[in-house]
A and B are shown apart, each in its own frame.
Chain A
């Protein structure tokens, strides 16, 4: 047996155990995305990076422990690194949560919340399946252009999203969202007028308006 020290918490594990498994045993959570036990262990998402005492970053899911060792598992520096890695991963993801079957139970959404990554809309946490989306019933909901992180509480309670969490800033998501509004027969001016209630003094709202104007045909 070897002793592993994770952020000061000691845990005894079999030699050859990964840091991620040791952390699980110690009750410490390390964010990870790509690890599938016995199926895939390629350490490709790089979200589970931890720091050794020598300052080296290693993936917790693949790094096996054969002697007593110490790791930093959660620190501001690691969070920043994980955030950058996650943003890079997310940049390849076509965010259209309103159409996605995983909405309401999405690992990407919960990780983005944990790491403080912006650009994921409220739809990612909305419990309504895509076919029951309020927008398809003609009810104006701002979920598509509002930052997630509220567990879609208004929609869960039976209402619609009013945008109180603030606008998302990712341009491609906004473009797709406004196109979707138009597809469903909503006037983008009405959407922006509704959004003004909470976002009138939010700087990101100006950027959002520009994107909306471009989607509409560059009139405004």
Chain B
């Protein structure tokens, strides 16, 4: 290894929302990467205290405007558990479809924002000029995804029709059939677009391997999971909801406003790359084909973006089936309902959900009908330490084949962070 010395900071990463500070310092002996989130803390967990539990999902959905649906649905599930309410099965399926649609939409947009790293273009604007057809196709798919969402939940951002003990929008059978058809079409079109993408998508840092390939996903008990009662780690350990806090260690870091998480003292990652590996037995033929086409290398953290695209195909197929099954079950329509609730209930509820960026945990305690405790662990918090470890390994890997300098390292570290699809406002909830 040649001798080198680099020291710099990154304060802005395009396509990553929020304020951050990446500090990189390294030479041939030691390399240090610090991923600090400078976004101001927002104290969601504190200000929901003493509030009516019914209000909490709507407040928690405001953690993020991009992935509001997953916060809303995950919070709803946890609150319902804490209140001892069992919602109608059909409404659970509706929540699954709504959340799946959000994964699809978020993945597509993130692919569009990150693909310039893999195609030799500077940003999405330049990409749109160089590959106008692909750009407009992804935008069109995004618009159609949002249209489908509107039929399920109404407004996409901070959906008002989903809530604890409540479902507000009537959904007719013909709508479900239409949604299923549209999702099948989307799946087909995503599949055919993968051929075009495979031609232009070049790997970034080929040969680089993730030094800590341990991940955390939801345990799949019944098909591709959107919600679950258990977590699954890559070493095979299954963690039930009530044990999550003993298993996932949350740490306060002096240079970041967000917490970091460790599993058995080591960092772990979460997101599409983890999910495709964990649920390889659940993938549809079309998804497998897309994975082959894009030549996804699960050992490389940059490949998370490709995994997001492949997951979009998987999600459309799964949701098309869910919608078709629901349509077959529903006679005329899924009616809105408001369930009775005890105003002085006491209980605890934990829910795990598949968020676009990884695994999301919402945990609440209710005492005498008022919120007593709330804890939210977001995917960005789970990935934060993993980004640092991979950043350090990446610089060492670059040093093994040359003499890395700031100009070379800066964009690749930014691309690495972007590949994880972090959401900083979520991280400092």
Q: Could you list which residues of chain A lie within 8 angstroms of chain B, going by C-beta atoms?
A: 137-139, 153-160, 162, 190, 193-194, 197
A126 to chain B, nearest CB (A): 13
Q: Once the chains bind, are B338 and A158 in contact (CB under 8 Å)?
A: no
Are A197 and B169 in touch, CB under 8 angstroms? no
The distance from the CB of A128 to the nearest CB of chain B, in whole angstroms, is: 11
Q: Are B55 and A197 in contact (CB under 8 A)?
A: yes
A-B contacts, 30 of them at CB < 8 A, read A138-B338, A153-B155, A154-B160, A155-B160, A156-B154, A157-B153, A157-B154, A157-B155, A157-B159, A157-B160, A157-B169, A158-B160, A158-B161, A158-B170, A158-B336, A159-B154, A159-B159, A159-B160, A159-B161, A159-B163, A159-B168, A160-B160, A160-B168, A162-B160, A190-B52, A193-B51, A194-B52, A194-B55, A197-B55, A197-B59
Candidate in B51, B59, B168, B170 with the most chain A CB atoms within 10 angstroms: B168
B352 beta carbon closer than 8 Å to chain A: no
Cβ–Cβ < 8 Å partners of B154 in chain A: 153, 156-159
Q: Are B169 and A158 in contact (CB under 8 A)?
A: yes
**How big is chain B's contact interface, by range?**
10 to 19
A193 to B59, CA, bound (A): 14
- Residues from chain B with Cβ under 8 Å of A153 in the complex: 154-155, 160
Contact residues of B between 149 and 169, Cβ < 8 Å to A = 153-155, 159-161, 163, 167-169
| CB nearest neighbor in B for A134 | B338
Q: How far is the CA of A154 from the CA of B161 in the complex (A)?
A: 8
List the B residue with the shortest CB-CB distance to A194.
Answer: B55
Whether the Cβ atoms of A157 and B59 lie closer than 8 Å is no
User: Which of chain A's residues have a CB closer than 8 A to the CB of B153?
Assistant: 157
Q: Told that A158-B168, A159-B154, A197-B55 touch, could you supply 8 new A-B pairs with CB distance under 8 A?
A: A154-B160, A157-B155, A157-B169, A158-B167, A158-B170, A159-B161, A162-B58, A193-B52
Q: Are B338 and A137 in contact (CB under 8 A)?
A: yes
A190 to B51, CA, bound (A): 10
A131 to chain B, nearest CB (A): 16
Residues of chain B lying within 8 A (CB to CB) of residue A139: 338
Query: Which 6 A-B pairs have CB atoms at the shortest separation, nearest pair first?
Result: A159-B160, A158-B168, A157-B154, A158-B161, A158-B169, A154-B160
Residue-wise, chain B 55-86 has the 8 Å CB interface mask toward A (1 for contact) of: 10011000000000000000000000000000
B57 to chain A, nearest CB (A): 11
Residues of B within 8 A of A160 (CB): 160, 168
A137 vs B339: C-alpha distance when bound (angstroms): 11
A21 to B153, CA, bound (A): 43
| Assembly CA distance A153 to B55 (angstroms) | 18
Interface centre among B55, B160, B163, B167, by most chain A C-beta atoms within 10 angstroms, is B160
Count chain B CB atoms within 10 A of each CB in A190, A194, A197 and give the residue with the most.
A197
Question: Which residues of the partner chain B approach A138 to less than 8 Å between Cβ atoms?
Answer: 338
Give A196's nearest chain B residue, CB to CB: B51
The distance in angstroms between the C-alpha atoms of A156 and B154, with both chains bound, is 8
A158 CA to B168 CA in the complex, in Å?
4
Q: How far is the CA of A197 from the CA of B61 in the complex (A)?
A: 13
Distance in Å: Cβ of A19 to nearest Cβ of chain B: 40
The interface residues of chain A lying within 8 Å CB-to-CB of B51 are 193
Cα–Cα distance between A71 and B389 once the two chains are bound (Å): 71
Bound CA span A158–B158, Å: 12
Chain A residues lying within 8 Å of B155, measured Cβ to Cβ, are 153-154, 157
In the assembled complex, the Cα of A162 lies from the Cα of B72 at a distance in Å of 15
Once bound together, how far apart are the Cα atoms of A156 and B51, in whole Å? 25
CB distance from A138 to the nearest CB of B (A): 8
